[in-house]
Amino acid sequence: MITISHLTKIFEGKGPRVTALEDVNLEIGKGDIYGIIGMSGAGKSTLLRCLTLLERPTSGQIMLAGQDIASLSGAQLRAARRGMGVVFQGYNLLMQKTVAENVAFPLRLEKGYDKAAVQARVAELLAIVGLEDRAGAYPAQLSGGQKQRVAIARALATQPEMLLCDEPTSALDPLTTKSMLALLTDINKKLGVTIIIITHELSVVQAICSHVAVISEGRLAESGAVADVFGSPRSAVTKLLLGREE
Ligand SMILES: Nc1ncnc2c1ncn2[C@@H]1O[C@H](COP(=O)(O)OP(=O)(O)OP(=O)(O)O)[C@@H](O)[C@H]1O
């Protein structure tokens, strides 16, 4: 579904030149729950930002449905973005708007959504994330886990094929983490949405991911089915993450 080939991202600016990603090759299949794991500064967020077209790769390709999304602009870029729901770290909710208004926000640009259709879709989305009774609340009145659920509902509003989550559990307590992971699994199963999770937590990958890519210092250390990669780790960084360094 997504084929990343030779993806390189170099930041050049006032400071020193930083190679955040170097020659990353990765294939993410339709319906996968794909974990991208690595230590702090490994390049995970940069990879997510390249995938969501918030950052242009320096070189390489990101093929999605036969198109190199790294080369899109204008209307094509906007169309590709609609196919991806993103849940950012910190959630990025509109604090002056209610839960329902936040979830409705991406629909304002969609064709075929009059007021009644928006209301119906928002109700449907809030039911998916279990927040039917909080439609009129403001983000400040919600817990971290609830804010995250609003962000997920908003990301799903335009029926994306893919949901990308940046550290979806790093700010949550263990119990809330468990229910968040159950929700993401449910969304993957029931809606058939491919999910990409950026995390530094091994337990998150072990709990719900079908596949994993281990990133270290901007390079892909290894990738594959979780059982294979964690069952017989080949790279030093995977062994380190698993606590099995020699
Ligand atoms: N806009 C930028 N300009 C310059 N350097 C950047 C920029 N964004 C990221 N970097 C650098 O790229 C490298 C990778 O950063 P990135 O945020 O992708 O890592 P990460 O794995 O997501 O880390 P963390 O888990 O701490 O968020 C780091 O060395 C970082 O300092």
> Domain boundaries in the chain?
1-83+164-169+200-246
Report the atom number in ligand 1 closest to the C-alpha of 45: 22
Q: Is 200 in the pocket of ligand 1 (CB under 6 A)?
A: yes
Going from the Cα of 56 to the center of ligand 1, the distance in angstroms, rounded, reads: 14
Going from the Cα of 200 to the center of ligand 1, the distance in angstroms, rounded, reads: 14
**What is the chain's pLDDT, residue by residue, as a tens digit (246 residues)?**
899 999 999 999 888 899 999 999 999 999 999 999 999 899 999 999 999 988 999 999 999 988 898 888 888 888 888 889 999 988 899 999 999 999 999 998 788 889 999 999 999 999 999 999 999 999 999 999 999 999 999 999 999 999 999 999 988 899 999 999 999 999 999 999 999 999 999 999 999 999 999 999 999 999 999 999 999 999 999 999 998 765
| pLDDT value of residue 235 | 94
Going from the Cα of 79 to the center of ligand 1, the distance in angstroms, rounded, reads: 27
- What length does the chain have? 246
Report the atom number in ligand 1 closest to the C-alpha of 198: 22
Going from the Cα of 19 to the center of ligand 1, the distance in angstroms, rounded, reads: 9
* Residue among 239, 194, 243 at smallest CA distance from 216: 239
| pLDDT value of residue 79 | 84
- For the beta sheet containing 59-64, the strands, ordered from the edge strand earlier in sequence to the opposite edge, are 18-28, 2-11, 59-64, 67-68
What secondary structure letter does DSSP report for 217?
Answer: T
Q: Where are the alpha helices (DSSP H) in the chain?
A: 44-51, 74-82, 99-104, 115-128, 144-156, 174-191, 202-208, 226-231, 236-241
What secondary structure letter does DSSP report for 9?
Answer: E
Helix (H, G, I), strand (E, B) or coil at 33: strand
CATH class of 1-83+164-169+200-246: alpha beta
CA dist list (Å): 34 to 38, 54, 206: 13, 20, 11
Report the atom number in ligand 1 closest to the C-alpha of 48: 18
Helix (H, G, I), strand (E, B) or coil at 105: helix
Rounded to whole angstroms, the Cα distance separating 26 from 74 reads: 26
